Amino acid sequence: MDSRNSVHTTVSLLLLICFSVSGCRGATRPHVIFIVADDLGWNDVSWHNPDIISPHLDGLARDGVILGSSYVQPNCSPSRSCFMSGKYPYHTGLQSGVIYPLEPRGMPLSLTTLPEKLKEAGYINHMVGKWHLGFCNQQYLPTSRGFDTFVGFYLGLEDHYTHRRGGYDMRFNDTLYSEAEGIYSTELFGQRAVDIINSHPSDQPLFLYLSFQAVHGPLQVPQRYEDMNSHIKNRRRRRYSAMVTAMDEAVGNVRQALEATGLMENSVIIFNTDNGGPAHKVSNNLPLRGSKNTLYEGGTKGPAFVYSKKHIKKTGYINNQMIHAVDWFPTILHLAGVTPDRDIDGVNQWPTLSEGVISARKEFVYNIDESQAAIRVGKYKLIQGSAGDLNGWYPVVGSGASPTYVTGESIDFRLYDIEADPSEHFDLASQFPSIVKLMKRKLKQYRKSTVPAGNQPHDQRGNPNNFGGAWSPGWC
């Protein structure tokens, strides 16, 4: 063998070894763009509702895989903890509602987060938008939980322009971002995402967690988006729909940046919502029952899709396999070539998403709390206790129709066949007592691993007046 052949063989062997070892193939691993909308209802996207103007999201969804059975938690912080930890909230103490501004708590520091695990594969991790997983201690902040950069806000329910909720709440990394005041948050976050993509080094994998404030209240949007939705006559519904359109344009800009930089060829885009829409106010969850903050399908099943030019083999259809928010953690880690810890609740759904095979998930927990619980096993859903006060079917705001409520409903156990009755009209508990018995046994097993809820009394040490008028860490 001459020297040239020897060198060629050696290089080939080194390349083979390199592509089999995690530390050598960072550039071949897909860039992951994980987009989360806030309070987006089931029927607030154009692939479910033609009244909604969201052509960029619609194009990605229809060219990718639309998820017809993607589940989240009934409200914000619990869902976001699922994304970041791969664990059900009842296993992390986050099962009892959102983290309030003056609560001295956050997502437990004992949890290893998704971006922390992605660092093992050489990912550069950026977060843009809403955090809502605690801020009272520096260790709870995104930049302490695996993100290399953060532009966004800690709380929720703040003004989209002034970024205030009693105090100012917008940061660039850990520093107050006063330059953002007056800029509409959807446009601010969309531009930040574009800037990240444009400056990203091509030889390293990217994880971008783009967590929009849209379409959470207050209902605020630049007039040009409202003008685009003039076909919607009710003012509140028009503004809400216009907020979807604004978010859609931001996503379109992100897609354009990915295409222009060449990153799209090796990217996976995931779109999800953090909970069902507040249908009792302005969003549209039809035909699903219930609103945000309930364990009914309207509070827990959200619009979602995955898109990739390269990594998905079967596209252009609706995948109705069961997927839960905790599954994104191991699924994204699988894409990165990283093995998750064994104690998570999520399962890797990539074979289902990329090839359309049957989901590895056969059951999941909607939530388990002191006064309520719900689980799904196969096609059946069991609810114990109250599923939430907003338990009706809410018509579109401005339609003139009245909500349909259920009165006198049992607060013991209720059973629904979600495949045959996805809008939960028919309680089957009295007809199938043997199924109820089996599911009660399953629920009892789940309950054995429950961690007490970590809710805390409000602590005025966190008042923004103590920090120059801004919501800040350093008080717990």
DSSP 97-155: SPPPTT-S--S-TTSPPHHHHHGGGT-EEEEEEE--S--SSGGGSGGGTT-SEEEEESS
Which of 132, 160, 163, 216 does the annotation list as catalytic?
132
216 labelled catalytic: no
pLDDT number for residue 408: 65
Count how many Cα atoms sit within 13 Å of the Cα of residue 338 in the half-sphere of its side chain: 24
pLDDT number for residue 18: 37
Query: 240, 229, 129, 144: which is closest to 185 by C-alpha?
Result: 129
Instruction: Return the DSSP state at 164.
Output: B
| Burial class of residue 446, CB neighbours in 10 A (0-12, 13-18, 19+) | middle
pLDDT number for residue 187: 98
Beta-strand relationship, 175-176 and 267-273: unpaired
The label of the residue with tokens 């009755």 reads 421
pLDDT number for residue 33: 98
Q: What is the C-alpha to C-alpha distance for residues 157 and 247, in angstroms, rounded to an integer? A: 17
Domain ranges for the chain, please list them.
Answer: 26-362, 372-447
Res. 23 pLDDT band, cuts 50 70 90: very low
176 in helix, strand or coil? Answer: strand
**Phi-psi domain of 169 (left: phi exceeds 0; alpha: psi -120 through 50; beta: other):** beta
Backbone angles phi, psi at 454, to 5 degrees: -95, 15
pLDDT number for residue 14: 35
What average pLDDT does this structure show over 403-428?
A: 89
Query: 255, 220, 257: which is closest to 239 by C-alpha?
Result: 220
* Fold: same for 26-362 and 372-447: no
Q: What percent of the chain has pLDDT over 90?
A: 89
Q: pLDDT digit string (tens) for 57-79?
A: 999 999 999 999 999 999 999 99
Note if the bond before 218 is cis, omega within 30 degrees: yes
Cβ–Cβ < 8 Å for 341, 110 = no
Q: What is the C-alpha to C-alpha distance for residues 293 and 281, in angstroms, rounded to an integer? A: 12
Q: Is 432's pLDDT higher than 60? A: yes
Q: What residue type is assigned to position 256 of the chain?
A: Q
What is the reported pTM?
0.93
Range in 291-305, 334-348, 403-417, 421-435 the model is least confident about? 403-417
What average pLDDT does this structure show over 384-406?
A: 90
Token pair of 296 as six digits: 């009914």
Query: Can you say how many angstroms the Cα of residue 219 is from the centroid of all Cα atoms in its chain?
Result: 20
Res. 123 pLDDT band, cuts 50 70 90: very high
pLDDT number for residue 403: 86
Which of 31, 76, 82, 163 does the annotation list as catalytic?
76
132 labelled catalytic: yes
Q: What is the C-alpha to C-alpha distance for residues 222 and 443, in angstroms, rounded to an integer? A: 47
Q: Is 25's pLDDT higher than 70? A: no
Q: What percent of the chain has pLDDT over 70?
A: 94
For domain 372-447, which architecture applies? 2-Layer Sandwich (3.30)
Instruction: Return the DSSP state at 89.
Output: G
CATH class of segment(s) 26-362: alpha beta
Q: Which residues lie below 8 Å from residue 440, measured CB to CB, with a gap of 6+?
A: 382, 384, 413
Q: Cβ atoms within 10 A of the Cβ of 425, count? A: 12
Distances from the Cα of 457 to the Cαs of 36, 354, 474, in angstroms? 29, 45, 17
